Amino acid sequence: MTKKPAIVILSEAALPMAQRLSTALNGEVHGFARRLPGGVDRRFEDASAHLGALFADGRPIVAVMAAGAVIRLLAPHLNDKTTEPPVIAVAEDGSAVVPLLGGHHGANDLAREIAELFDGFAAITTAGDVKFGVALDAPPEGWVLANPDDAKQVMADLVAGADCRLEGEAAWLSGSGLALSDEGEITLVASDRICEPPSRGLLYHPKTLVLGIGCERGCDPQEALALALESLAKAGLSEQSVGLVASIDVKADEAALHQVASHFGCPARFFDAARLEAETPRLKNPSDIVFAEVGCHGVAEGAALAAADHTGELVAEKRKSRRATCAIARADEPFTRSNLPGRARGKLMVVGIGPGSEGWRSPEVSQMVAASTDLVGYSLYLDLLGPLADGKARHDFDLGKEEARVRHAMELAGEGRSVALVCSGDAGIYAMATLVFELLDKADGADGLPDGARRIEIEVSPGISALQAAAARAGAPLGHDFCTISLSDLLTPWEDIKRRVTAAGEGDFVIAFYNPVSKKRRTQLAWARDKLLEHRPASTPVILATNLGREGELIRLVPLGSLDVDDVDMLTVVVVGSSNSATVSTGDGKSWVYTPRGYARKEGSAMTNIVSGDAA
């Protein structure tokens, strides 16, 4: 499975089992919103629509509910059995595990895994699995079936009593319940060579080949790929048996290497120069020039051999193009997620979790956090992740340690880990994303980053910012031009802040004030209030939004002239309207703030007609 399983539940009674399954399977708990207010990673309102969306997305579904319920909910969404993901129904006590769909796409194996975890019974009904204990159309991880269209007939013949013979080595086949014979009429071939499938049988390619690649900085990805394909063809080796691309660690951020790995659908892994140098006795083409350049006598051959380990062998010597080199080694066992050698290119995901509540956290952010190995952030922000943080290595930091926090996250990623740097609100608004890029920009200075940290992959995912949350809770104050200003002078000189507040007042912007006060800093907000009163009425609405999206949320509306600094703390966002901002009350007595943009004044609008008396 390449996608994280969704553990779907409809009631609180199923939550303990769902959480155990989520931990064991590295899954994500999805709960019916009306019955599960908390304790889940994602909530949904319409069970059929939600399961249908998961199914269409190819997500494995583990439903802790009655099999009949799952069948009825998914029935409208079933159409193509060749593309369906695993769908499994699990009893709330784990006693019964029923793979309903996608048996040969991982459901049967997943059902067995779940049953073993909880001493339950996996109700496997697929004919081939029942009779032979193996699914010929769904080989295990690390193997590829070259002619899947022939699998249905082959399995039917075997179930009907035909014998088969195995050419090559494949422990998952030889150790199964298949009736193997040297005279078998069905042929099963296991080979990493370029060859045609048998006329009556199946061809399997083990992902045992590793492409060792070296290249100049900025090498054209198409040149590196063409060299890799040529090297495989010259050696008579199948592209489908490529299980890994390997190189030296200083190339971890080289686009050409990652595009080659993407073409073959395999990981890229990296080794330091010392590890590659240890392979020098096995190199066919050692080079003193390469040693002088990077500290080892061969990158392509060395990386291929290092990945294949001491039991592997070099099967294709180094070939050269203008800016790249490629060699091929064969490992003893296929590459899988559990046996990858070397180090991955580290990944830093800078995520904004919004105010912290699960309902205001984007699915993309949840997916990034779930995919991470390490979480870095202010302790409160990590706590707000709830169950999503379970099983992750936590690296907690106090407020005021922002640079140390970001450096640590980048250094962890530089070690090959997948790190989520967790920010409240939006990661790029008064948060850590800016500091990540600032440190990268200064990476080569005296106080720079370790080499590995400079080569990491970076992704930034947005979150609901405090000003958006405050605006939504209070109405629509950001309907026209607005700006944000931080009143903290820890990093910005007070004179600069005063200049910005003055300019925003003169420009009649709606203003969201971040960091309005602290225990020691009480005068800045009062100064800003008085300065804005020079440009807008004392009746201008001000929103005081505290603990947005969390327990203790409080939204207050006050006129600018009555704004009291003592009503504000560091957990409060202050949004000051423009001279055009107004308040309106609804029938329930609630007051709302809005800033008109002028739609109602547009020529021909209904509002214009009403005002002019043209509408009844």
Classify 505 as helix, strand or coil.
helix
Mean pLDDT of 177-189: 89
| pLDDT tens for each residue of 570-589 | 889 999 999 999 999 998 98
Distance CA 532, CA 509 (A): 10
More confident residue, 314 or 45: 314
Distance CA 492, CA 17 (A): 50
Distance CA 42, CA 55 (A): 16
User: Domains of the chain, with CATH numbers?
Assistant: 6-125 (3.40.50.11220), 143-206 (no CATH), 209-330 (3.30.420.180), 347-464 (3.40.1010.10), 467-599 (3.30.950.10)
Which whole-number Å values give the CA distances from 279 to 197, 235, 285, in the listed order?
A: 36, 22, 11
Distance CA 3, CA 87 (A): 13
Highest mean pLDDT among 75-79, 509-513, 608-612: 509-513
What is the identity of the amino acid at 126? T
Question: Does 20 have pLDDT greater than 50?
Answer: yes
pLDDT at position 445, please?
55
CB 344 within 8 A of CB 246: no
Identify the band that residue 611 occupies on the pLDDT scale cut at 50, 70 and 90: very low
Q: CB within 8 A of 469, min separation 6: which ones?
A: 354, 355, 360, 425, 545, 548, 549, 573
Mean pLDDT of 161-170: 91
Q: CB within 8 A of 334, min separation 6: which ones?
A: 141, 142, 143, 206, 207, 208, 243
Say if residue 259 is exposed, middle or buried (CB neighbours under 10 Å; 0-12, 13-18, 19+): middle
Question: Does 128 have pLDDT greater than 70?
Answer: no
CB 14 within 8 A of CB 92: yes
Rounded to the nearest 10 degrees, the angle between the axes of helix 67-74 and helix 47-56 is 70
Classify 96 as helix, strand or coil.
strand
CA angle 35–384–437, rounded 5-degree value:
135
pTM of the shown model = 0.78
pLDDT at position 138, please?
81
Neighbours of 554 (CB within 10 A): 12
Distance CA 307, CA 221 (A): 22
Strand ranges, E, within 110-241: 121-122, 143-145, 164-167, 186-190, 201-206, 209-215
pLDDT at position 312, please?
95
Mean pLDDT of 397-410: 91
Distance CA 302, CA 317 (A): 11
Helix, strand, coil percentages, rounded to 5, for the chain = 35, 25, 40
Identify the band that residue 616 occupies on the pLDDT scale cut at 50, 70 and 90: very low
Say if residue 557 is exposed, middle or buried (CB neighbours under 10 Å; 0-12, 13-18, 19+): middle
Identify the band that residue 81 occupies on the pLDDT scale cut at 50, 70 and 90: low
Question: Does 612 have pLDDT greater than 80?
Answer: no
pLDDT at position 223, please?
97
pLDDT > 70: what percent of the chain?
Answer: 93
Say if residue 498 is exposed, middle or buried (CB neighbours under 10 Å; 0-12, 13-18, 19+): middle
Neighbours of 517 (CB within 10 A): 22
More confident residue, 2 or 67: 67
More confident residue, 133 or 256: 256
> For the chain, what is the mean pLDDT?
89
Give the pair of three-digit tokens for residue 517. Answer: 């006060």
pLDDT at position 126, please?
64
Mean pLDDT of 79-95: 83
Rounded to the nearest 10 degrees, the angle between the axes of helix 255-264 and helix 221-235 is 50
CB 456 within 8 A of CB 412: no
CB 317 within 8 A of CB 325: no
Residue 608: its H or E element = helix 606-612
Q: 61-63 and 6-9 as β-strands: parallel, antiparallel, unpaired?
A: parallel
Kindly write down the DSSP assignment for every residue of 506-553, as one continuous string. HTT-EEEEES---SS--SHHHHHHHHHTTTS-TT-EEEEEESTTSTT-
Neighbours of 490 (CB within 10 A): 9
For the chain, the straight-line distance linking the first and the last C-alpha, in angstroms and rounded, comes to 62
Dihedrals φ, ψ of 99, to 5°?
A: -75, 115
Q: Which of 78-87, 401-410, 417-426, 521-530 has the lowest mean pLDDT?
A: 78-87
Mean pLDDT of 163-178: 90
CB 546 within 8 A of CB 572: yes
Question: Does 392 have pLDDT greater than 80?
Answer: yes
More confident residue, 264 or 610: 264
pLDDT at position 104, please?
63
pLDDT at position 613, please?
44
More confident residue, 386 or 310: 310
Kindly write down the DSSP assignment for every residue of 5-42, as one continuous string. PEEEESSGGGHHHHHHHHHHHT-EEEEETTT-SSSSSE
CB 38 within 8 A of CB 358: yes
pLDDT at position 39, please?
76
| pLDDT tens for each residue of 325-378 | 999 999 999 999 889 999 999 999 999 999 877 788 888 998 899 889 999 999
| pLDDT tens for each residue of 471-501 | 999 999 999 999 999 999 988 999 999 999 9
| pLDDT tens for each residue of 431-452 | 999 999 999 888 765 567 887 8
Identify the band that residue 608 occupies on the pLDDT scale cut at 50, 70 and 90: very low
